[in-house]
Amino acid sequence: MKQRAAWLSALAVLLAWPLPGVEAPAALAPTTRGRIAAALDSPLLARGFAGALVVAAGTCARADGFELVPYVPRATPELFARHADRCFTPASSAKLLTAAAALDLLGGEQRFRTRVCATRTGPDGSVARLWLVGGGDPSLGYDGLRQLAGAVHAAGVRRVTGPVRGDGSRYADAYPEGWTVDDLLWYYAAPVSALSLERNQVDVTVHPAARAGEPARVSFAPANAYVQVSAKVTTSAPGTKAALRFARGADPRELVVRGSLPAGGGTRSEGLAVLDVERYAATVFVDCLRAAGIRVEGGAAAGEVPAEAAELAGLDSPPLRVLLQRLLKKSDNLYAELLLRELGRHSGGQGDVESGVQAVRDWLTRQGLEVDGVRLADGSGLSRYNLLTPRVLVGVLNAMALHREAPAWYAALPVAGVDGTLATRFKGTAAAGNLRAKTGYLATRTALAGYVTNRAGDLLVAATMFNAVTATTAEARALHDQVFVALADSER
């Protein structure tokens, strides 16, 4: 009886306690609407297309927005809309869809394992063949390969008589549709492989000589035995304009640098994509094995691991919730593309773009979002074939605002004026340290979508998308910024 009385007393207290949250705002203040409309009606956008949507998701129990309290009654009112259902090329704002679906379906603790496999180990510590098998880890670097080489040595291997093969067959489609040929040289369009190393790029740096007429020095990092750089760069007179051309040679390993760089003008560095990444990773791994005291006689190659091969060593990536910080804050295309393919495998597909896209579309449908007219061709937004609406971007953000992984989701987004792709924007405004949003940029196309808390404590979810505009990138970004500053400044 005492337990029953205590339970009834506790229930009475709960019933008497007011429900958390406040009533949702009915509309934006007229001054705020005017500021947003002025940005979207700018003559700089007159020849293109501008879309925007703003909804209120709830109130913030903490200033950083990690603890969202729904309105009472539960509502997400639409506060502003302009062409919210028109399709736009989203550029990198499409990463929001890939990241959200991955965090929901795979979970924040998901890790990606790189394995070293062999068919058998002889009594003298020799193996005939060794495979470095990629598991989709986008963060795998040279330090990771050194750890794996040490683990192989610790497993008793002292000699590899045949080749070391790199296996990236877990995923298909090195290049999605809609990636343009002029992108493929550069780091942001590196080929996609389940065995990716150092983001499949090298940074090539040109160092001018002290005096004009002398050859410039060209280096690349991380240094390795796979990449070959062919350079013919001279040092020009101080104050002259740099004239450098980066290209790819006939051999997939060769990167070509030509031109001139002025004396006293500082170095010039560019990130370039590495091709045949499975062979590249295997080549670097051979060097790591040798440094660990293992004799490798067969060199490096690419090839799939046979089913009968056993794992000798493995290395797990950081958890997905950590990887997402690189994906969203730095807008890393390779991270997004690898996750898209893993979503495809997770949903029962082949680990290709098609199955990954279908997994994302199915996830959007389960969130109650309209996918008719939505077109996805990749996971990163680099494809020119993608089409999204402001309503879909806002819907994804709204779905994640109260998600079980909401803290990880918020932590992964760039913070205005603080880090990532927003580090230099919004400084000195009400949005600084407040707005958490994903940027998007392709030539003539820009986007910004995220969360901002207004002065009344409402968490507003907003997306702005501009396509086919004649404004410069800086001008377009300034107009996006005007919208979000107006929202941060707003009262009820």
pLDDT (tens digit per residue) in 161-189: 999 999 999 999 999 999 999 999 999 99
For residue 6, tell me if it sits in a domain. Answer: no
Say whether both 156 and 302 belong to one domain: yes
Say whether both 167 and 298 belong to one domain: yes
Say whether both 71 and 154 belong to one domain: no
Q: What is the mean pLDDT of residues 214-225?
A: 97
Say whether both 360 and 297 belong to one domain: no
For residue 304, tell me if it sits in a domain. Answer: yes
Number of structural domains found in the chain: 3
Say whether both 259 and 282 belong to one domain: no
For residue 330, tell me if it sits in a domain. Answer: yes
Identify the domain boundary among 273, 303, 335.
273
State how far the Cα of 414 lies from the Cα of 99, in Å rounded to an integer. Answer: 13
Q: How do residues 112-124 score in pLDDT, each as one tens digit? A: 999 999 987 788 8
Q: What is the mean pLDDT of residues 367-388?
A: 95
Say whether both 376 and 472 belong to one domain: yes
> 302 pLDDT band (50/70/90 cuts)?
very high
pTM of the predicted model over 0.75: yes
Identify the domain boundary among 316, 341, 367.
316
State how far the Cα of 350 lies from the Cα of 344, in Å rounded to an integer. Answer: 6
> 373 pLDDT band (50/70/90 cuts)?
confident
pLDDT at 485 over 90: yes
Residue 49, C-beta contacts closer than 8 angstroms, at least 6 positions apart: 83, 86, 88, 466, 467, 468, 469
Residue 479's CATH number: 3.40.710.10
Q: How do residues 391-448 score in pLDDT, each as one tens digit? A: 999 999 999 999 999 999 999 999 999 999 999 999 999 999 999 999 999 999 999 9
Q: How do residues 21-62 score in pLDDT, each as one tens digit? A: 689 999 999 999 999 999 999 999 999 999 999 999 999 876
Domain, as residue range, for 168: 113-173+276-316
Say whether both 449 and 373 belong to one domain: yes
> What is the structure's pLDDT at 17?
31
Please give the backbone phi and psi of residue 439, each rounded to the nearest 5 degrees, phi first.
-85, 170
For residue 60, tell me if it sits in a domain. Answer: yes
pLDDT at 4 over 90: no
> What is the structure's pLDDT at 5?
42
For residue 327, tell me if it sits in a domain. Answer: yes
Say whether both 482 and 361 belong to one domain: yes
For residue 12, tell me if it sits in a domain. Answer: no
Q: What is the mean pLDDT of residues 196-201?
A: 98
Q: How do residues 64-113 score in pLDDT, each as one tens digit? A: 556 889 999 988 999 999 999 999 999 999 999 999 999 999 999 999 99
Say whether both 162 and 204 belong to one domain: no
Say whether both 324 and 468 belong to one domain: yes
For residue 140, tell me if it sits in a domain. Answer: yes
Please, are residues 131 and 117 in contact by the beta-carbon 8 Å criterion?
yes
Say whether both 349 and 480 belong to one domain: yes
Identify the domain boundary among 265, 289, 316.
316
For residue 78, tell me if it sits in a domain. Answer: yes
Please report, rounded to a whole number, the percentage of residues in the chain having pLDDT higher than 90.
91
Residue 156's CATH number: 3.50.80.20
Say whether both 97 and 52 belong to one domain: yes
